[in-house]
Amino acid sequence: MSRLLIIDDDLDYLEILSVFLGKKGYEVETAETPKTGLKKVKTFRPDLVVLDVMMPSDFEGFQVAREIREDLDLKDLPIIILSCIHDQKKVPYRFAPDKDYLPVDIFLDKPVNPETLLEKIEKLLGDRREKPLRDL
């Protein structure tokens, strides 16, 4: 069973994603703060991280992604960023994966359809990983 870690300060969103992905056969762990998320990356050893960008703490999602990538044992850990930064901050440009500034595999704007997220997770985990059991 593939293991997913979701790092987001929105408790309702954590619960919704956890239940949805758990029903799809994934083992899901959550973290409400970037600091807790970084600890769980090392202790839970997820196969993939789903990460929010805007969190009210010293660490933002971009920093968490860079810290994960700087750990040599985790440099290949797939990371999906979900964020509403484009809508809330009204930035005149679009964020996208970048190996130096935003070292993630996929950037998705919130709200994201859970099925779309599931599709991206399955793609990143690929055929080399164990497929989760699906609801019939």
Question: Does domain 3-88+103-114 correspond to CATH entry 3.40.50.2300?
Answer: yes
Rounded CA-CA distance 107/55 in Å is: 16
Q: Token match 């790092």: residue?
A: 7
Mean pLDDT of 86-98: 51
Rounded CA-CA distance 90/34 in Å is: 23
More confident residue, 23 or 60: 23
At residue 88, does pLDDT exceed 60? no
At residue 131, does pLDDT exceed 70? no
Mean pLDDT of 74-102: 66
Fill in the DSSP letter of residue 75: T
Residue-range domain boundaries for the chain: 3-88+103-114
